[in-house]
Amino acid sequence: MKTSLIHNKKVGALLAVLFYSMLGLFLYNAASSINYNWKWDSIPKYFAYEKEIGLNSSCDGVLKVQNDTIKIICEDKSIKSFKKDGYELKYKDGDFIYEDDLFASKKELKAGPLLLGMWVTIKISFISMFIAFIIGLIIAIIRLSGIPALDYIGSVYVTVIRGTPMLVQLFIFYFIVATIFNMPRFWAGVMSLSIFYGAYIAEILRGAIQSIDKGQHEAAKSLGFSAWQRMQYIILPQALKKALPSLVGELIALIKDSSLVSIISITDLTKVGREIVSNTFSPFETWLTVALLYLLLTSILSFIGHKLEKKMKTQGGI
């Protein structure tokens, strides 16, 4: 039985590989039929590139090299000193150079636009998720507080945010709220994502808290715990374990939706992709690369979430 199951899994994996290989071949042939010129060699330089850094003379003078120091003895007898630090000289020791002459240079490996855009996407996503979690936790608690006014405030927030598109909220926040408070576009994007996902996290946490057996509340109360202590030490730890898979799912969705901030000119991964396409006229290679980078981020997050979930289960969690 076990051997048969393993065999079925291998056949299934083989069929899946065959299916996606055929799909890839179909897309390649479709692109070829429209005379598309694939230019994969243009993509690597957008990950990293070598930048030449030069040293220019600030005066007319004589070039002198002493150990690890490059000196220019100017005509006015002043001395300009530079550390050699990997620079290659363009002139020989004792040569006369003029003001603004490039007398030394070196090449340094720099992160390209794709890596920089990916870093912006990561920053926006994780800062937004942290703020969204705080917002969601506060809304979940006030909705469960038993105070009607607070419950109505939380309910209206959740209803309005979940009932309107993320893109519309982004425009409203950027063109109205951010303009009024003179907020940088980066933080406008962060707060838009935070407010939007805060509503979804609030419902996830509210459901997780309500799923905790009432006996837990009563036992903690009988031991003299205050309402805040019951929530902090007894209820929330258990609720977070139950909510973890859903929270990871929301963070994955947030990473993907962070691409919308490119609309307000934040140079994230998606905006970098648009700029590369406009420079190289290579939409297929560029967008496939951008998609793979998003997939890499979400896959890493899924893996970490899965590991955390397994760890909590082994510790008597979920």
Q: Which phi and psi (to 5°) does residue 73 adopt? A: -90, 105
Higher model confidence: residue 270 or residue 5? 270
155: tokens are 């309910």
Higher model confidence: residue 75 or residue 270? 270
Mean of the pLDDT values across residues 72-77? 87
Mean of the pLDDT values across residues 67-78? 87
**DSSP-derived 3-state class of residue 83:** strand
E strand spans, the chain: 48-56, 61-66, 69-74, 79-83, 88-89, 96-97, 102-111
Q: For the segment 109-129, what is each residue's pLDDT rounded down to a tens digit?
A: 889 999 999 999 999 999 999
CA-nearest of 248, 276, 300, 291 to 113 is 276
84 to 4, 51, 109: CA distances (angstroms): 68, 17, 18
Q: For the segment 17-60, what is each residue's pLDDT rounded down to a tens digit?
A: 888 889 888 877 777 777 777 788 888 889 998 888 898 988 99
Q: What residues contact 46, with CB distance under 8 A and at least 6 apart?
A: 112, 113, 114, 272, 276
Q: What is the mean pLDDT of the chain?
A: 88
Q: What's the pLDDT score for residue 4? A: 63
Residue percentage of the chain with pLDDT more than 90: 46
Q: What's the pLDDT score for residue 132? A: 96
> Cα–Cα distance between 106 and 250 in angstroms, integer?
45
Q: What's the pLDDT score for residue 85? A: 82
> Cα–Cα distance between 238 and 243 in angstroms, integer?
9
> Cα–Cα distance between 61 and 201 in angstroms, integer?
67
Q: What's the pLDDT score for residue 194? A: 96
CB 252 within 8 A of CB 296: no
Give the DSSP per-residue string, 191-211: HHHHHHHHHHHHHHHHHHHHT
Cβ-based neighbour number of residue 85 at 10 Å: 11
- Would you tell me the crossing angle of helices 113-143 and 269-280 to the nearest 10 degrees? 150
Mean of the pLDDT values across residues 238-246? 88
Q: What's the pLDDT score for residue 3? A: 62
pLDDT band at 249 (very low <50, low <70, confident <90, very high): very high
Q: What's the pLDDT score for residue 2? A: 55
Residue 1 reports pLDDT greater than 70: no
Q: For the segment 125-184, what is each residue's pLDDT rounded down to a tens digit?
A: 999 999 999 999 999 999 988 889 999 999 999 999 999 999 999 999 999 999 999 999
